[in-house]
Structure 1
Amino acid sequence: MFDFDPLYSTPQVEAVEQFISKHYPLAGPISCRLLQRGLNDVYLVVGGNGEQYVFRLSHRRARGPADVKTETAFLAHLSQSGVPVAASIPTREGAMFVQGYAPEGARQGVLFRAIDGRKPSAMDAGDASANGRTLALMHNAAETFSPDEVLYRLDLEHLLHRPLARIRDSGIVEDAEVRSDLENIAARTAKAIEAFADLTWTHCHGDCHGFNARINDAGEAIFFDFDDGGRGYLAYDLSVFLWAQVSFGRKSTAMWDSFVEGYRAVRPITPDDFEAALRFVIVRHIWLMGEYASRAQEWGSETVGWIAREAHFLRTWETEQFVDRLF
């Protein structure tokens, strides 16, 4: 019984160590260190033999529970298909994920072996190309992936309309004119995307912004963090990398060119998918705004207040790309 119902609790590191030792056959004693607290809690785990792992404890999010069943099944399929990814490690019972209980409710955990390699460089064309190649390999392998069930469908309802509603309901954007601007930009974007006759659907990574990877000695990009994945638009999966090059004041379109070149070296991109990716930059940005807006009660309105200033970026992108096309 709690006087205040928690939105989000952070477990003691010792409790996480005990939880992992109970469920996974790692050489002990193990030690944990919290690397990141946010959309998920991520821990570095070191076994008694010095081997390193990463343990991700999923957060409860506005979308609903983590789809770890599909995620880990997809990772296993990709690994078996020769795609460089960080696959999950089975528990003592052979399961690919576990579930624990915090004051706020159930949370899902997945253990991964730590990836060898360096972090990608934001301005390295080779790293951008490597990300494109691995994403193309992933999309090729996805054609033979048939999961039993998928919790999330990365359609416009999931990526655009619900996030926009979260922004509106949060009260963070107080200016009625800005709110109207966001609604109009979203409506125009949805209409433009729906006008494409035959956009490709695939199983998406969902967050391929260029840094959810490690570059190994062979120059390959090894992917991780498939938490936002699901069946959806291939154009959206492409657009996330472009969005990372042009949002929040960045102007690194040369890296986008390298990314696309790497992708096309493995798999073609249809003209419609390529054109739609430019539109999906707006969808991605509104999706992120909605994710942060949904955490206003947890992180505080000051922390997520940047959302109210993002209409300018969306207006500018829409005007430059679809009125005076830069690409």
Structure 2
Amino acid sequence: MLDFEARYSTPQVDTIERFISKNYALAGSVSCRMLQRGLNDVYLVIASDGGRYVFRLSHQRSRGPADVKTETAFLTHLSQSGVPVSAPIPTRDGTLFLTGNAPEGPREGVLFGAADGRDANATDAGDAWANGETLALVHNAAETFPIEQTVYRLDLEHLLHRPLARIRDSGIVEDAEVLSDLENIAARTAKAIETFSNLTWTYCHGDCHGFNSRINDAGKAVFFDFDDGGPGYLAYDLSVFLWAKISFGRKLATMWDAFIKGYRAVRPIAADDYEAAHRFVIVRHFWLMGEYASRAQEWGDNAVGWVAREANFLRTWESEQLVDRLF
């Protein structure tokens, strides 16, 4: 009999409960239920005193292991700086993350306090404004965060060139002309971004699309899900919100205006960073396409096949920026 090797396993919930009870000093016993399976496995954790937490079990992606050491250090810094975030909970021995063994190899686990509030509304200008405000607070606090050695840098190699290679290597895009279009769009986008002489560098959230937040009773956006973050372009961090409002057929550009107003209420945006953010929309889409393409052997072609159909969106957005940009 042949033994199959695991590419991505899903732990039993009771093993997650035992793992948390063993390593964290929560009140009494805990109960868990899975919230999400995908790029990471995410569980809602409820302690016997009613305390609510979120446990995230990272999955090793094609880019490599999760940089939980830097992520949890940054989140702790943000929390101590008064930025509304879901902060990591220390283990019994004071560490902020753990590693467990799964059939496919080691996976990193982090326990967070559950963010209070309601889900952000994609069409609510007030929620968009609140997301912009909190991202500005993140970038302000990043100025006093001692970035040392990190696993990832959110540069064009990480965000654009490697994702393009994953798309190419996956075989999802079978049409040679479409693949050539993608390569040409990526090359033009990189060249356009490199013409900006002084783009701001910061520690990025990395995934601020509007849904990695909850709106608390004070109307503030409480951020979570920083695992795609790292030192990188501020313009990219801004662009993710814009991308979320105009990609996949959405027509919510007015939410981008509200988001920018919320950001500027706290922190100014340099002209080059604002202009470059529109170019980084294409970079963001390539990043997502590359993430999905790298999972073709895990999720199957049916789940990631949309990647082969995205050249038209990228061409359209590119022409709008070059010829008749509306922003």
Do both proteins adopt the same fold according to a TM-score greater than 0.5, normalized to the shorter chain? yes
CA 2–23 in structure 1, closer or farther in 2 if over 3 Å, else same: farther
Contact 1:139 1:204 (8 Å CA) reproduced: yes
User: 2:309: which partner in 1?
Assistant: 309
Matches within 5 A, 1:3-18: 3-18=3-18
Alpha-carbon distance between aligned partners in 1 of 2:2 and 2:297, rounded to the nearest angstrom: 18
Instruction: Note the alpha carbon deviations across 1:117-168, whole angstroms, 9 max, x for none.
Output: 0001011100000000000011000001013421100000000000000000
User: 2:132: which partner in 1?
Assistant: 132
1:49: Cα distance to partner?
1.1
User: 1:190: which partner in 2?
Assistant: 190
Alpha-carbon distance between aligned partners in 1 of 2:287 and 2:9, rounded to the nearest angstrom: 24
Alpha-carbon distance between aligned partners in 2 of 1:201 and 1:210, rounded to the nearest angstrom: 21
User: 2:259: which partner in 1?
Assistant: 259
Alpha-carbon distance between aligned partners in 1 of 2:101 and 2:243, rounded to the nearest angstrom: 36
Matched, 1:57 2:50: no
Matched, 1:221 2:221: yes
Instruction: Note the alpha carbon deviations across 1:240-281, whole angstroms, 9 max, x for none.
Output: 000000000001010000000000000000010000000000
User: 1:245: which partner in 2?
Assistant: 245
**2:95 aligns to what SS in structure 1?**
coil
Alpha-carbon distance between aligned partners in 1 of 2:304 and 2:2, rounded to the nearest angstrom: 27
Matched to 1:30, the amino acid is V
**Alpha-carbon RMSD:** 1.0
1:320: Cα distance to partner?
1.3
Matched to 1:295, the amino acid is R
Alpha-carbon distance between aligned partners in 2 of 1:262 and 1:295, rounded to the nearest angstrom: 35
CA 2–46 in structure 1, closer or farther in 2 if over 3 Å, else same: farther
Alpha-carbon distance between aligned partners in 1 of 2:2 and 2:122, rounded to the nearest angstrom: 45
Q: Give the unaligned 5+ runs of structure 1.
A: none
Q: Higher mean Cα deviation, 22-31 or 285-294?
A: 22-31
Alpha-carbon distance between aligned partners in 2 of 1:89 and 1:278, rounded to the nearest angstrom: 36
Q: Give every structure 1 segment of 4 or more consecutive aligned residues whose post-TM-superposition deviation is greater than 4 Å.
A: none
Contact 1:32 1:43 (8 Å CA) reproduced: yes
User: 1:150: which partner in 2?
Assistant: 150
Alpha-carbon distance between aligned partners in 2 of 1:8 and 1:2, rounded to the nearest angstrom: 18
Q: Higher mean Cα deviation, 143-152 or 282-291?
A: 143-152
TM-score, length of structure 2 as denominator length: 0.99
Alpha-carbon distance between aligned partners in 2 of 1:181 and 1:300, rounded to the nearest angstrom: 24
User: 2:109: which partner in 1?
Assistant: 109
Alpha-carbon distance between aligned partners in 2 of 1:235 and 1:325, rounded to the nearest angstrom: 17
Q: Higher mean Cα deviation, 186-195 or 46-55?
A: 46-55
Percent of matched pairs sharing the same residue: 77
Instruction: Note the alpha carbon deviations across 1:69-125, whole angstroms, 9 max, x for none.
Output: 000000010011111001100000000011100000000000011111000101110
Q: Give the unaligned 5+ runs of structure 2.
A: none
Alpha-carbon distance between aligned partners in 2 of 1:14 and 1:2, rounded to the nearest angstrom: 28
Alpha-carbon distance between aligned partners in 2 of 1:2 and 1:148, rounded to the nearest angstrom: 45
**1:95 aligns to what SS in structure 2?**
coil
1:2: Cα distance to partner?
7.5
CA 225–2 in structure 1, closer or farther in 2 if over 3 Å, else same: farther
Instruction: Note the alpha carbon deviations across 1:260-307, whole angstroms, 9 max, x for none.
Output: 000000000001000000000000000000000000000001110000
User: 1:96: which partner in 2?
Assistant: 96
User: 2:85: which partner in 1?
Assistant: 85
Contact 1:30 1:47 (8 Å CA) reproduced: yes
Contact 1:73 1:147 (8 Å CA) reproduced: no
1:324: Cα distance to partner?
1.7
**1:249 aligns to what SS in structure 2?**
coil
User: 1:25: which partner in 2?
Assistant: 25
Matched to 2:23, the amino acid is H
Alpha-carbon distance between aligned partners in 2 of 1:138 and 1:17, rounded to the nearest angstrom: 32
Instruction: Note the alpha carbon deviations across 1:206-226, whole angstroms, 9 max, x for none.
Output: 000001001011110000000
**1:108 aligns to what SS in structure 2?**
strand
User: 2:174: which partner in 1?
Assistant: 174
**1:304 aligns to what SS in structure 2?**
helix
1:28: Cα distance to partner?
2.1
Matched to 1:93, the amino acid is D
Matched to 1:116, the amino acid is D
1:48: Cα distance to partner?
1.0
Matches within 5 A, 1:29-48: 29-48=29-48
